[in-house]
Structure formats: structure tokens, C-alpha cells
Chains A and B, each alone.
Chain A
Amino acid sequence: MSQTLWNRTLTWSGAVRRSVSRVGWPATDKDRAAAMISSLFLHIHPARVSRHVLKPAYTCALGLIAGVLFVVLSVTGLALMLYYVPYPPEAYRSMKDLQFVVTFGIVLRNMHRWSAHAMVMVVFLHMCRVFWTGSYKPPREFNWVVGVLLLLLTLGLSFTGYLLPWDQLAFWAITVGTNIAAYAPVVGDQVKFLLLGGHVIGPMTLLRFYVLHCVMLPLAMLLLISLHVWRVRKDGLSGAEVHAPAAEEVAGVFPPSTKTYGLMALSKRPRTSVEARDPNDDVFAWPQLLYRELLVALAVSVALHVVSLVFMAPLEEMADPTRTPNPAKAPWYFLGLQELVHYSALVGGVIVPTLLVLALLVVPYFDRGKAGAGQWFAPERRVANAVFTTLAVIFAGLTIIGTLFRGPNWAWVWPWK
């Protein structure tokens, strides 16, 4: 009797599970492929991936980490929205409440803050990785452009979020940041007015930044991330081709294909034919890729928890428009620009950022040669890499100077003094 009941329960629960997931825990390669293809969430992965792109040394998992950070930011951000009031001075008080009253509030806030900083850093490094491995080479030019837009969105999200605590740090950083925007010729003042909802930062600015930060920019981000990942899925990860043996070599081992694949004829995915690749180069995404992704996500969340428990997110006095700190600094990722603005407002505020963004947007359409794609610091791309690296180092150097070496009146100070 009990045996029957047990079996019937098993049958019932099996039916429930199958209604949710059509494929069970995959035991065969076919099931593994089916598991990836039949799930909405897993389908952004191919069923099989080249084992070469799984190597951590190639991608450094930077894109994945950025994605994980976006998820962490979305989750913590939604939780923070339950406590936040986008109106001064309650905005500042809600920061204090998070710190002192809300259960896990301070961990939430710290995690959101540090994840946001980390994301800016990681997205920037991801861009460097893509450049240094030549991964924007055809046919991936447009995905690079999407990536640049995602970098700008990341900066925008971080910048709009910077104001929300409504403390002195936030207020004056945004003041400096929006003043840099106002240097733009002709439209500068209008852009600033549009951003601030007035001529100075006030309750309207806070509301605008809140809506931008919580609704508009995350939606745009989600859309572009989907596009970005979709293109990666369709184009495949770069680097696989490099390791694909030449068709002639494989030809001797595998008989030439006589099959036709209807859908694949539509796919623009560039590759040698399915059969022309060494089957030993491909591994199943389940579990090889998923497992590694899980490990990276786990590592990221452990690191975020540690940082959030040890380092407090900064919170200064409540914003006071009558008290200007000296120096008033923009958020750190704009301090390179602020350092330039210190020399020349037009150069630092307009010319350099415009040229940088334009250069990033068009670089895949000028640097079209396929040579050197898919490997780090390919000798064929020595010039391109040298130019990019120089610019990146200069920009990073200016940022570090602006962050650590500038004191009152933007005078030089030694950070250890």
C-alpha cells in the first residue's frame, strides 16, 4: 500500500516537473543539447561551444561579470527602491534609515554602490579585452558599437545613481559633472537645463535622475544587453575560429559533407562547415559552460559580500547648496575629464569626450583587416593595439591623478600625505 502511494507520488511529481521543464536532468549529449535549446534562459548559449573560448585567460569572464553585476544591481536596486523617497531631504534620511534601521539595509546599499563602481571598471576592462583580442573584427563590428553604447549607458546609470543619496558628495559631484556637460557648444546649456530640470540642482533634478536611474536607463540597458548577447550567440565567440583547423587538414579526416541544413543556410554565422571542425574542439555548453558561469557568479557574489561588509558606502552631510566643498569632484570615472577641464574647459569638456566616443564608435569600420582577430596582442595588430593602449593608459592616468592627486583648489597633493 505504502509502496503504491510512494510510486504514485513519484509519478505525480514527475509530471509536475515535466510540465515545467520538458527535458529532465540531461544524461545524454542529446539531452544536454536539448536542455540548452529548449529553455528560454539557457537558449542564449549555443548547445556546444569551442573549448578554447572557455579558457579563463581568453575572455577573463569580463562580459559575464558585467552581466552578473547588472543582475546584482537590478536586484539590490529594486530592494532599495522600497525604502527610497526621491525628494529632499527625505532622500538623505532614507540613506540614514537604510544604515541604521532597515534590516540588511546597509549591506544592500553598500553592495549596490560597490557593484556600480565595479561595473564601470569591468565594462571598461571588457572593452579593452575586446580590443586587445581584436574581437570587433568583422562580422562583429556592430556588436562593438552596441558595446560602446552599453559603456555609455553604464556611465549614465552610475552618474544618475550618484545623486540619489542627496549628500554633499552626491550634490557637488553632479554639479561638477553637469557643468562639464554645459561646456558643449550651442546646446550645452540646454542639455544641462534638461538634465537638471532647472538651472541648479534641486528636487526636480533628483526626480529626473531617479526616473532615469530606475526606469529609463535600465530598460535601455536591458534592451541593449539582449541585443549584445544575441549577437554573440549568433556570431559565436571570437577566438573559436583561430583554433579551427584549416578545412583542408580536416578534410582528410572527415568525409566532406553532403548534407544541407535549411535554417543554417539563412544563418549568417561565419564558420567553416559543421563537419569541417574538429569535434574534439567543441564541448557541450551543459555543463561545461554553465558550470563555469556558475562559478564566476558565485565568486563575484562572495567578493561583493566581503566588500560590502568591510567597506561602507560613503555618505557625507546632507546636500547644502551654500557650502561648496573644496575640491568639488565629479564621480571618479569623470575625473579624467575634470582633470582635462582644469587645463581647458573646451578640450576636456567637449572635444576630448566627443572625439573619444566617436573614435570608439567608428573604429571597427576603419580597422577592417581580419588579421590577428581572436588572439591577444596579435603581432599583426601591433599599431592598433599600441594606439589604443596609449589612449587607455593616458585616460586611466588622468583619472588616477584627478582622483588621488588633486586637493583643494585642484592643487597637486600627495595622497599619502
Chain B
Amino acid sequence: MGVAVEVKTIAPPRLHLVFAGLGLAFLLIFSWVLFHEGTAEWRTTQARFRRLETTVKNPHQLAQSVSVAGLRQIWLPDLGRVDRCGTCHLGIDDPAFTGAPRPFAAHPGTWLSTHPTDRFGCTACHDGQGQATDYANAAHQPQPFVSRPMRPLETIEANCGACHRALDPPDAPRLAEGRRLIIEWGCFSCHDIPGFEGLTFRGPALDSIGYKVRPGWLSVWLGDPKSYLPQSRMGKFRLSPDEIANLQGFLLSQRAQAPLDNTGVDWKKADTANGRALFGELRCVSCHAVNGRGGTMGPELTRIGDKVRRPWLFSYLKDPHRVQPDTPMLRYRLTDDQLRDLTAFLYEEYSSAGAGPEPTPATYQDARLLAAGHAVFERRGCASCHQLAGTKDTGRIGPSLAGIADRDPDELPYGSNIVRHTTDNYIFLKVLLPDTLGQPSSMPTYGFTPADAAKIALALASIRKTDLPASYVLRRPAPVPYRPGGKFGELVTRYRCLSCHSVGGFGGDLSTVPLDRIGSQLQHDYVAKYLLNPGAVRVSVEARMPVFHMLPEEATSIADYFSTVFLDDSIEQYDTNFTAAETRRGEELYGQLGCEACHQLGTKGGYVGPELSASGARLKAGWIAAWLSTPQRYKPDTLQPDYGLSSTDVRALTAYLSSLGRRDAAKARGGDAR
């Protein structure tokens, strides 16, 4: 074999060098792959956890603890989720790791016992990418292509709302507050909002507004309602002066129904001092604020004299239901003189000096102006909140908010606001400053505080596009409307009992007393007397029952109805034949349990609970016993402690309390009438 041939059959040394280099590179890179896998973040994290475990637990606990090595996941097929958070959050359900450094710390609070991980996983509440096994990809911070990164704790209640559909979800104060604000501000008048179906929000009917308001006030109001009434639920519509003029003319020409006749009223005889006394007696401030203090159910009255015309006010006070059939305001039984005094008082006390004399109602004849005003009325969706006969039903003027939480943040406008482009931020801005998003918006500016806007945004952020499985959803209990008929029904309607009290969850919540079992709680005669001249049962509660100027037979009818219908049979069947020994034992117990710390008895005692001086004449014994046994059953948020009393002790206390304020009982105790 020749030398030349030999040279050709073996590879040149240069290639060997290349081979050596490439071979080495391959070995290195392959070791890198192995290293890469072997030092995956979750593996090193678990190694750290094992080291921490030896310092946190004692040897006995260590021997019992399950060794952690390998991926851990919770698979929730119903929710379509796989959560591997437990791979690193290894101490999450172990109290031994309370206060341990992240990610090993135990979950704070009792959340994991109310929301077990094997049913809810982690991302159902927290969001983030549950499938991931490293910090970045789990989207603890916003990540590209993860549509729901972990929610910060400030807004996490939005996720509570995905399952908890009640309007006042438990343990989610910001969400509850947000939903309350949505109801209070009637967002659902203009928007279809899932979860708020069946709720209504009504501004005043405008059919006769031409008789009601002063023209000057109306134009100021249309320009900016807050300038008259800072708490106004009506937003600022950002109308041009022309639009305001047109709308003003259109509205002032609405005179469907003249006010009740007041020609017989001699305004010169008006006694404003009597009006002031009535104002207090009728408890107007329970619903209406003056100078910033008072209830919020009705409009603030501080400058009512600048707003309405006197004949209208007189007429309204006489029969509010005639003008506004769905108003929560009750119809007092007042004489024309009383009405005159009250009207005069309101009109003089609550008007600013510059209001000027009352102009006579002008007639607007300019058809073009009326048409232009009508057009503004329809375009801006005034009819969404205000009733006005003869206008087209525009329905809900705003877009539906179904699935708003899952809107694509990249497709939403943010205007010149410098915020991170997230759906949450968009909703927040839209609620707070609807006109700054770079798109023409019909939505009025409500002037929410940023804190309130954030709460509303949070409540809206729980409205997702796809619904959860029914087994996860706690639906809003549908209130069953309570509409009694007959004489009682008439009285309930006239005195608007359900503006403050509720029956079967339907009605207002201004009063702390639902009427469902009121007949078993209160004695018939007490009710009949109380309605004629309601006093304060709870000294500390500011909103009080008004003096209706009810007729005695009306009060008796109501008491009759209460004691035949609003009963709880389990309370009714209580043996009321108490012995003197029981009564004495009850008196001892009253002292031992420290009842007087909260309750007033005679001249002694606290102001937190109702006063008990006449409880024997007021309450039914069965109710006293039932209440003392399980107060939280009847009122979950009551301050009354559940002492866990035995039935004998309950009976003794009941005997004692039933004896208070009763002449016959006092005699039994030896003439000691307190």
C-alpha cells in the first residue's frame, strides 16, 4: 500500500481537532441540559423547605410528616384547573409554618378550612398560572400571555364575587361595599349587570316637573347636580349650555298633573315654630339629611327652598304617592294647617338668601326648543332613571356589563391616563373619570371618590364571561315580594312600612326589626299603643320610627294583623305560668350576668341594648326565652352574648323580665314595682 493512498484513507488531523472540539461542546451542552433539569426552581425550593422543616418542627413531628419530593398538584376537573402551587408552598396547610418565610408560610386566617384546597385549589381565588412550577411563570407578577395573573390582595375580593353572588357576601367587605354602591347609585338602570337582575333604581318621575321646580335651579342642576346637592346620585352629564337650555325648556313644559289645590291655605297664618316641631316629630331626619346629618333614603333638604315651588311642596307632603307612586316616603296623616306650617318651615329654614321670589311657571311654546330638549332627553338616556310619559322607552342606555372582567385589556381605551393596561384599571377609570378615556362617552361623571370607584370596579371585576359550575355558585337569594292586600295592605302602603322594615327578606333595612315574627315578639296592646306614639326603644339608634299621626283604629288593625299572622309557632307555645321563685332567681341572674352593662332598667344601665323597664308589658315571654337561648339565631350580627344558659336559667330570666312593668306581676313580687 503506497504512501499516497494511505494519506487519502485517513482523515486529516485538522478534522480530529474539530471532532474533539465538537465532541466536548456536545458533552458540555448535554451536561447543561441535565443540570438545567436537575436544578429546576421547584427542586431547589423543595430542598430549602426540607432544611427549613428540620428547624421548624421537633423530631416527633418530623417523624410524622410526609416527606416532600416531587411535584404536587390539585386537579379540579369541574373548574378546568390544575394547580401546582403546592409544589413550592409546602407549608400552606401546616400550622407549624405560621409566620415562616415565603413561599413556605402557612395560609393566614381560616380560609383553607372554609375553602378546602381539594375543592377550590389555589387559583380559583388567587388567579395566576396554576400549572406553572416556577415563580415567574406562576404569574405572581403580571406575565405576558397570562390573562389572569395573581390578584393583589387589595382586589382579591373580586374573585370572592365569582362564587358569592349575594349582595352582601360574607367576609368580603370591599366587595359588599362595591355591590352596595352599585345598588345605591343604580348602575343597573343604564347597564345590564349580571347579578343585579330584578333590582330597580328610580329617580323622581318628571311628568309634572314643570310645577315642581324653579327654572333657575333646574339649569344649575342639569349643569352639575353636585353644585346643589353634593350627595346627588345623578351624575354630571357634561351638557353644553345649549343642551341645558333645551332640556330645561323641555322639562319645564312637562305639566301632566297640577299640584293639589292649596287656594284655601292662608300662608300668612303659617306657624314655622309648629312646622319645626312637626319636622322633629315626624322624624324627617331618619330619611332626609339636613346640613349633612341624617338619613340617606330621601334627598337632602338643606336647600329645598331653592329647588321646589311652595304649592308643589305642600301638595307633595299631603300626598307623595300621587306624584311618585314608588317613593319610599310615607303619607302622613296631617291636617292642612299642619301641612302649611311644615311647608312654610321647610321653605324658609332651608333656602339660601339669594333664591329670590318664586317665578310663575312659564310656558314654553317654541316647538324647536322642545324637540331639541326631547332629543337630548332621549339621547342621554334620561328615561333609564326617570319616568316621563310620552317619551320613547330607550331601555338601558349603557352597554351590558356581562363578562366585563374578561374584556381584552389591549382592546380597551385608556385615553391619556398613565396606567398599566389591565381590565381592572379600565373599569376603575371608566367609573371614576368616564370622559378621560379618549373616546366620546355618554356616561355621566358621578364624582365618586377614588376609594368608592375602586370598590365599584372591584365588584364589577367579579363578573366573568364564562360562568362557574353551578356547584360552586352561591346564588343571590331571590327576595320574595311581600304585597299584602286588604286593609292591612293599604296601611302598609300608606305608611310605607317596607321602606324600613322587611318581611321575608323583602323590604328596607333602615329598621333593625324585621316583621316576620313581630307578633310573637311584641304584645298586641303594646303594638297598638306604640304605633300611635312611637318612642325610642334603643336609645343609641339614631333613625327612629316617625310619628305617623295614625288613627287609633289603624294602629289596632295593624296590631291585630301582627298577632294573627306574623307569628313564630315555636315561640308561641311557651308556658307562662312562672313561679315567684323563678322570678327571684331571674333577678339574681340579671345581676350576675351583668345585663345592666348594656340594658337600661329604670334609671340604671347602659345604652347599647333596648331598655327593659317595661319589658313585661312589651315583650312576649316566649320571645324573651327564645332570644336569651339563641340570640344569634334570630339576628346573626347582634351584640347580645349567647351565654349558653340552661333552660331553667332562661326560664328564670324570662320570668323576671316578664314581670317588669306589669302591675299584676309586681304585686306577685311583693309590691316592688320598678
B30 within 8 A of A: yes
The segment from B2-10, B156-164, B204-212, B322-330 found at the interface with A is B2-10
Q: Is the Cβ of A93 less than 8 Å from the Cβ of B82? A: yes
Partner of A29, one of B9, B22, B134: B9
The segment from A138-146, A178-186, A289-297, A390-398 found at the interface with B is A289-297
Q: Is the Cβ of A301 less than 8 Å from the Cβ of B11? A: no
Report Cα–Cα, A28/B5, bound state, in Å: 11
B interface footprint on A39-69 (CB within 8 Å = 1, 0 otherwise) = 0000000000001000000000000000000
A235 within 8 A of B: no
Contacts of A302 in B (CB 8 A): 22, 25-26, 29
A interface footprint on B131-148 (CB within 8 Å = 1, 0 otherwise) = 111100100000001110
A6 within 8 A of B: no
Most buried by B among A32, A96, A294, A301: A96
Contact A305-B22, Cβ < 8 Å, known A284-B8, A291-B15, A315-B145 = no
Partner of B15, one of A29, A51, A295, A323: A295
Chain A 201-239 interface residues, beta-carbon cutoff 8 Å to B: none
Contacts of B408 in A (CB 8 A): 323
B interface footprint on A83-110 (CB within 8 Å = 1, 0 otherwise) = 0000001000100110111011001000
Partner of B30, one of A89, A97, A305, A315: A305
B36 within 8 A of A: yes
Contact A101-B71, Cβ < 8 Å, known A287-B10, A298-B22 = yes
Contacts of B1 in A (CB 8 A): 28-29
Q: Is the Cβ of A294 less than 8 Å from the Cβ of B10? A: no
Contacts of A89 in B (CB 8 A): 80
Contacts of A287 in B (CB 8 A): 9-11
Q: Is the Cβ of A309 less than 8 Å from the Cβ of B33? A: yes
A351 within 8 A of B: no
Partner of A295, one of B5, B22, B33, B132: B22
Q: Is the Cβ of A103 less than 8 Å from the Cβ of B37? A: yes
B662 to chain A, nearest CB (A): 71
Contacts of B145 in A (CB 8 A): 167-168, 315-317
B23 within 8 A of A: yes
Report Cα–Cα, A360/B1, bound state, in Å: 48
Contacts of A187 in B (CB 8 A): none
Q: Is the Cβ of A96 less than 8 Å from the Cβ of B131? A: yes
Chain A 252-291 interface residues, beta-carbon cutoff 8 Å to B: 280, 283-284, 287-288, 291
Contacts of A315 in B (CB 8 A): 145
A401 to chain B, nearest CB (A): 24
Report Cα–Cα, A317/B146, bound state, in Å: 6
Contacts of B131 in A (CB 8 A): 93, 96-97, 100-101
A306 within 8 A of B: yes
Q: Is the Cβ of B19 less than 8 Å from the Cβ of A295? A: yes
Contacts of B134 in A (CB 8 A): 100
A299 within 8 A of B: yes
B121 to chain A, nearest CB (A): 15
Partner of B4, one of A99, A280, A292: A280
B89 to chain A, nearest CB (A): 15
B267 within 8 A of A: no
B32 within 8 A of A: yes
Report Cα–Cα, A51/B4, bound state, in Å: 14
Q: Is the Cβ of A280 less than 8 Å from the Cβ of B8? A: yes
Report Cα–Cα, A323/B465, bound state, in Å: 13
A interface footprint on B19-61 (CB within 8 Å = 1, 0 otherwise) = 1001101100110110011000000000000000000000000
B478 within 8 A of A: no
Contact A301-B133, Cβ < 8 Å, known A294-B19, A317-B147 = no
B18 within 8 A of A: yes
Chain A 12-39 interface residues, beta-carbon cutoff 8 Å to B: 28-29, 32
B408 to chain A, nearest CB (A): 5
A302 to chain B, nearest CB (A): 5
Q: Is the Cβ of A100 less than 8 Å from the Cβ of B33? A: no
Contacts of B340 in A (CB 8 A): none
- How extensive is the interface on chain A, given as a class? 35 or more
Contact A107-B33, Cβ < 8 Å, known A295-B15, A299-B22, A302-B26 = yes
Report Cα–Cα, A309/B29, bound state, in Å: 9
Contacts of B137 in A (CB 8 A): 99-100
Contacts of B129 in A (CB 8 A): 96
Contacts of B82 in A (CB 8 A): 93
Contacts of A317 in B (CB 8 A): 145-147
Contacts of A168 in B (CB 8 A): 145
Report Cα–Cα, A392/B467, bound state, in Å: 52
Report Cα–Cα, A284/B5, bound state, in Å: 10
Report Cα–Cα, A93/B9, bound state, in Å: 54
B620 within 8 A of A: no
B interface footprint on A300-318 (CB within 8 Å = 1, 0 otherwise) = 0110011001000001110
Report Cα–Cα, A97/B84, bound state, in Å: 11
Contacts of A97 in B (CB 8 A): 131
Partner of A284, one of B9, B71, B132: B9
- Nearest chain A residue, comparing its CB with the CB of B131: A96
- Nearest chain A residue, comparing its CB with the CB of B71: A101
Report Cα–Cα, A303/B23, bound state, in Å: 12
- Nearest chain A residue, comparing its CB with the CB of B145: A316
Report Cα–Cα, A89/B133, bound state, in Å: 20
A interface footprint on B107-151 (CB within 8 Å = 1, 0 otherwise) = 000000000000000000000010111100100000001110000
Partner of B84, one of A100, A283, A294, A305: A100
A274 to chain B, nearest CB (A): 17
Contacts of A301 in B (CB 8 A): 26
Q: Is the Cβ of B36 less than 8 Å from the Cβ of A107? A: yes
Contact A305-B80, Cβ < 8 Å, known A101-B71, A315-B145, A317-B146 = no
Contacts of B22 in A (CB 8 A): 295, 298-299, 302
- Nearest chain A residue, comparing its CB with the CB of B73: A101
Contacts of A294 in B (CB 8 A): 19
Report Cα–Cα, A221/B23, bound state, in Å: 30
Report Cα–Cα, A280/B18, bound state, in Å: 24
A interface footprint on B438-474 (CB within 8 Å = 1, 0 otherwise) = 0000000000000000000000000000000000000
- Nearest chain A residue, comparing its CB with the CB of B146: A317
Contacts of A295 in B (CB 8 A): 15, 18-19, 22
Contact A100-B132, Cβ < 8 Å, known A107-B36, A315-B145 = yes
Contacts of B33 in A (CB 8 A): 104, 107, 305, 309
Most buried by A among B4, B131, B134: B131
Contact A309-B32, Cβ < 8 Å, known A89-B80, A287-B11, A295-B22 = yes
Q: Is the Cβ of B37 less than 8 Å from the Cβ of A104? A: yes
Chain A 126-175 interface residues, beta-carbon cutoff 8 Å to B: 167-168
Q: Is the Cβ of A291 less than 8 Å from the Cβ of B11? A: yes
Report Cα–Cα, A104/B80, bound state, in Å: 25
Report Cα–Cα, A225/B471, bound state, in Å: 56
- Nearest chain A residue, comparing its CB with the CB of B38: A103
- Nearest chain B residue, comparing its CB with the CB of A287: B11
- Nearest chain B residue, comparing its CB with the CB of A97: B131
Contacts of B147 in A (CB 8 A): 317
B612 to chain A, nearest CB (A): 64
- Nearest chain A residue, comparing its CB with the CB of B9: A284
Could you list some 17 contacts between A and B, CB below 8 A?
Answer: A93-B131, A96-B131, A96-B132, A100-B134, A101-B71, A101-B84, A103-B37, A104-B33, A104-B37, A168-B145, A280-B8, A287-B10, A288-B9, A291-B11, A299-B22, A302-B26, A309-B29
Top 10 A-B pairs, shortest CB-CB distance: A305-B29, A96-B131, A298-B22, A100-B133, A316-B145, A302-B25, A291-B11, A283-B8, A302-B26, A317-B145
> Assuming A29-B9, A284-B9, what are 20 further A-B pairs, CB within 8 angstroms?
A28-B1, A29-B1, A96-B129, A96-B132, A100-B84, A100-B134, A100-B137, A103-B37, A104-B37, A280-B8, A283-B8, A291-B11, A292-B15, A295-B15, A298-B23, A309-B29, A309-B32, A315-B145, A317-B146, A317-B147
Residues of A that sit less than 8 Å from B by CB: 28-29, 32, 51, 89, 93, 96-97, 99-101, 103-104, 107, 167-168, 280, 283-284, 287-288, 291-292, 294-295, 298-299, 301-302, 305-306, 309, 315-317, 323
